Structure formats: structure tokens, C-alpha cells
Amino acid sequence: MATINTTYANLSSSQSAFEIRFSFLELEDIKVAVKPNGQSEYITKTVNTDYTLSGITVTFNSALSAGDSVQISRATKVKSPRHKFAAGSTITAKSLNDNAKQMVFALEEVEAKTDTGPSGGSKNHIYVNPSNTDDWTITSGAIQTTHLGANSVDSDQYVDGSIDTIHIADDQVTYGKIQNIVTANRVLGRASAGEVQEVQVATAMIADDAVTYAKMQDIGTANRVLGRASTGEVQEVQVTGAMIAANTVTASNLVVGAAIPVGTVIWYAGSTAPSGYLKCNGDTLPNNSTTAVQGITADWTTLYAIVGANLPDLRGEFIRGFDDGKGTDSGRTIRSFQTDSWKEHQHIFGGDDSVGVGTWDSAGAAYNYNRDANSDHGNAGRGYVTSRDTTGSNNTTTYGDTETRSRNIALLACIKY
């Protein structure tokens, strides 16, 4: 078999010029390929762009590196003869030889490619057109994965729409492979910088129980990333009733007292303070977060700043609104205590209710204390005077309870901490 190529494998040093060591008819029949150091495939180069040809020398525009390999080969064109003869034209030996070499070189190249000569038909993985031996076709299904070099198939080789769901292995599309929605919308012309087009995810696109609490981004962070609010701002999010399933919001999902300020006093129908509250029983209140109060350890500093070193003691007490400058109960300070009292008054007697002077026996006991204002009927008194002081004042029988009060119901006073 004749030599139709020259290979310079694994260059020992940087080199630019290489000799063509086989016969050829024209420089346009010369093909050049380079295999960079460490790679397994030769890459075809372009004349003038990557290298130049002169005589029997190939010169690269940029020198190759040590370890690179160069393959210079011949591909003789056979679609038309090198020389065409017409009646009466001069036939030279060179013309005849060139045409003969053209045929010989082409046959040598076909033989080198097929190992069987220039016959047509299937050549294992290659089909040669019998009517045009320059027409070579790779048979269907001949290219397997093992025939593909690393990184040989890139996005330029994909036909639009050729990658569908069945060609994506399970769990192969990770978060890192999903383009930022803002960037994607700008690239696609759907939204300009700072704007985000609405993206709707249908329920059918989300697997059951696939969106967990840990997968939900903080709304403040999300809005800033999407350009909807600046740092420190959160766009309003409205949750409608239709978005909440029946009976899904239970007491355990609500923060107890979230909208009730610290120091608020409530009346509770139970004998133990509810969660988030202390009994208003005058207990000492520390200004720290380490000391337990009523068996509870919490940060007491906010409540301390409101009520001071002791909880209000509302056990058995009635509550009166703080005067706060009105003048009805002047001189009071917030949470100050006030004793009971009677407003100054007089009892006026007249007519049948007049109280006269009684007659006292020798032991000092009265037997009649009433004298009717209109008539005197002796022992027709309405009661008995039980004692008299040294000045002659008369005292009636003691009547009543240990305090003055209105009708009431006992409830437990509690304070929010």
C-alpha cells in the first residue's frame, strides 16, 4: 500500500514547519490535522487560517507545543481529470502522467480507507456509493457511545426540541442547573432589568408533600432577589380565605398573645394563669432573663420596665380607671393603691321618724327611745337604744358586714409578659 500521509507524533519540542513526505499532484489535495497533547482525537485545520503551504512544507501560523501530534495526508480530487484533451491539442507526457497519477492516487486513498480496494457497497460501518466512490456514507446505527470523544457533542449539535423528559435521567436536573428566573426572563425578552414576569406553577407540577417548610425562602429575601422590595422592606403578601383549607389553622399554629403588648392585664376564669401570663399577686419581678417567676423562666426586662420590681397585686381588689389629668380622682399615680372610704354626708330625721329622748332605768338600759313628732304614745318605740355615752348620745344596734361592696364575681387577674 502506498504512503498517503505523514505523521509527526508527540513532538519533543515546540515546532512550526513540517515536511510533506509523500507524492501529491497539487497543494489543494493536502489536508492537515492536529491532536493536542493529552487529547485522543485529531482536529482538522484550515489552510491559510491555521497554516500555509509552500512546496513540500506545511508551516503553522502559531507554533505547536511539545507533546502535540500532526498528521499530513492526501485527498486527491477525482471528480474531473487533471488535464482534458481536445482534438488537435498537444498531448504532453506530464499531462498523461498527471492524469494517471490522479487515478492511482485516488485508488490508493480508497484502498487505505476501505482496506478492500475501490469496490462499492457496505464496508462494515461505511457505505460506498458504487456509482461515485467519492460518496461515502456512515451506515445507520454505526456510531456508538464508545466512538464519541470526550466533549465531542455540544449544544450546537442539538436539534431544537430533541431533548424531552424521557431523555433526562431521574434527579439529573439540579437547582444549580436551573437558570435564575430574572436572568432568564431578560434573555428571553420577557422582562427588562428589575422586572419579573409572573410564573405560574400548577398544582399538577408539584409532587405530593414535595414543598416543605425548609424549601420556602424567607419572603423578605425572596422579594429583594426578585427586585420587588429593597433591603429592609417586604412586599405585602395577602392570604385569602380560599388559600386556607378548612380546619387547617389550629391553636398550636398561632403564636399566643402575638398581638397583645407586654404589661396587658386580663381577667381569667381559671385558677392558673394561661400561657404567656403571670398572676397579678405582687410577686417580686427580676430585671433579667435567668430568674424564675411563678415557676417560669423568661426575659422579664420588658415587663420590669413597665411595672417595676413587683407585679401588681390585684387579689380581692376593684379596678378604677387612671385619672390621667381628668380631675375626678386627682393626685393618683399609675398602679397606686387607694383605701376604702365614705363620702361625707348627713342623715336627716323628721315627722314619724324623729328620734326623741328615751327614759333610762337605774341600770342604764333604755326601755323607750322614740317620741313621735306628732303625738306621744308612751312605749310605742320602734327599737331599743343599747347604750349611751357620757355626753348622753344614743347608739343603735350594730348592723352590716366587714366591708362595703357591690355585687361581684371573682376572676383571676393576669398580666402579659
CA angle 335, 341, 346 (to 5 degrees): 150
Query: In the block, which residue shows the cell 321618724?
Result: 353
pLDDT of 380 reads 41
Cβ-Cβ contacts under 8 Å for 253 (sequence gap 6 or more): none
Cβ-Cβ contacts under 8 Å for 66 (sequence gap 6 or more): 11, 12, 13, 14, 37
Q: What is the pLDDT of residues 257-270, one digit of tens each?
A: 568 999 999 999 99
Amino acid at 397: T
24 or 215, higher pLDDT: 24
pLDDT of 361 reads 54
Asked whether the beta carbons of 37 and 66 are under 8 A apart, the reply is yes
Amino acid at 1: M
At residue 59 the predicted structure's pLDDT band, cuts being 50, 70 and 90, is very high
Fill in the DSSP letter of residue 131: T
Cell numbers found for residue 56 = 513540500
368 forms beta bridges with 359
pLDDT of 193 reads 52
Query: In the block, which residue shows the cell 507524533?
Result: 9
Q: Is the pLDDT of residue 243 over 70?
A: yes
pTM: 0.38
pLDDT of 131 reads 60
- Maximal CA-CA distance, the chain: 188
The pairing of strands 121-123 and 126-128 is antiparallel
Point out the least confidently predicted range of 94-103, 320-329, 367-376.
367-376
Tell me how many helices (H) and strands (E) the chain has.
4, 19
